[in-house]
Amino acid sequence: MRVSPRPQDQPVTPTLGRQRRRWDEGDALPMALGCVGCPDLGTCGGIRKKQHAFSCLDDCCGKPDTCDGMCPNNTLGFRDRMREVNGLELGNILRAAPCAAPVLPSYIPYIYHGNRRAAPLDIAAVALPLRRFYRPDGRPRFTSRAEVEATFGIAPYTQLVLIGSGRDAAIEAWWRLSEIRVPLLAEFRALGIAMITGPNYSMFTDEVRYNDMHAMKRIGMTWQEIVGAGIPGAYHLNARTPHDYRRLATFIAARPEVTDVAFEFKTGAAWRTRLHFHLAELAQLPGRVARPLHFVMIGGMTAIPALARAFSRVTYIDTSAFMNAVHRQRLYLNNEGKMKKISELTLMGQPVDDLLVENIATMRARIETLLNGG
C-alpha cells in the first residue's frame, strides 16, 4: 500500500520556551483530561506537557483534505496508515533469528563520499549512508564490494556499517520501496555489510500522537526486515515520552534478536535542556531489558560517559572528522578538553588524505578517553 510521504523535515520552532512546553514531562505533570477516554491510551500512554491541551487532537491541523499525517480527523489517511503498519502495537512485528553484529571498533568515522582523496582509507571500519546504496527506483547502486571501495575510497578489509538515520527525505524514500526492500537487502548482504542501523522515522512535538506511534511501528518493521535478511541491524530508539521508552524496553526484552540498538543525538536530543531526559531513559534500558546490549550512538559526544556505564559496548559514529577534513579544517583538543577546529592551508586541489587521517586519530583518541572514564 502506498500513502503520501511525511513532511521533509520538522520545522524549526521559533523559541526554546515554546519547544519546552511541548515536551512530555511524564509523571511530573498530570495527564491531559481528553486522554482518559481515548481507545489508544494503553499504547500511547497519554500526554503530559506544560502546553495547555485537552488531548493530542488539539494539534490537529484542521485540514483533513490536505493532511498527510495519521490523524483520526483525516479518516481515509488514518485508515491507510493504520493498514500499512498493521496496527500500532509493536508485538505483531514479525520475528527474526538473532543476528548480532561482529565486535565493532568503539570509534567509527562516517564517510560520505570518496571525493578530494587520492588513496584508500586504511581503517578497520567506516560508517556509510544507507541512502547511497540504492537508486530512487530501488535498484542497488553497487553490485560488488570493489565498487563500494572505489566510490568511498576505503580498503578491501574495512568493515562497512550503513547508517539508516538521516533527513526525512531519505528515510521516507526507503519506506516507499515497500515491495522491494527485502530483495534489496539481499543484495546488501552479498556486499558483506557488518551492520545497518535502522531508519529513524521522525516524531514531532506539534502533531497528534498517532504520528509518533506510526513512526515507532515503521522503525520496528524496517529493523525486522534488516535482521530477517541475515544482516546485523541496530534497532533505532526513537521516543518522545517515558511511556514510549517503556514500550521499547518491553518489546526488546521479548525479542532476543534485538542485540544492537542505535540512537541519534543530532535532532530532538540535540536540545541541551532535553538531553538529560533521553540520557536518563537510555541508561535504564539495559536494566529494563535484563540483558547486555551494544549501543551505537550517532553524535552526542558529551553523552558517552553516562552511556558507557549502562551498555555492554558502545560504538561512536563520528561525522566531524570527515566533514572538517573535506572543508580543509584540522581538529584539535583545547585546554578545556573541547574539540575545536582550525583552517588548514592547502594547495589548490590538494587531496585531504593526510588531514582526514589526522582528524580521525584526534577524534578516536578523544572518544576512547571518554569511554574509559576520562
Find cell 511524564 and name the residue: 26
CA distance 329 to 341: 6
| Residue 132 DSSP SS3 | helix
120-135 confidence digits (pLDDT tens): 999 999 999 999 999 9
Q: Which residues, 6 or more positions from 210, have their beta carbon under 8 angstroms from its beta carbon? A: 40, 56, 69, 70, 71, 72, 78, 81, 88
Q: Which residue has the cell 485508515?
A: 79
Indicate the helix (H) or strand (E) that contains 213. helix 209-228
Give pLDDT, residue 166.
86
Q: 168 with 9: CB under 8 angstroms?
A: yes
DSSP assigned state of 195? E
**Mind listing the pLDDT tens digit for each residue in 16-73?**
566 677 888 778 889 999 999 999 999 999 999 888 889 999 999 899 888 888 999 9
Query: What's the gap between Cα 4 and its chain centre?
Result: 22
pTM above 0.95, yes or no: no
Domains parsed from the chain with CATH numbers: 16-84 (no CATH), 107-371 (3.20.20.105)
Query: Which one, of 305, 334, 301, 330, lies nearest residue 318 by Cα?
Result: 301
pLDDT tens profile 201-219: 998 888 999 999 999 999 9
Give dist(CA 134, CA 152) in Å, integer.
15
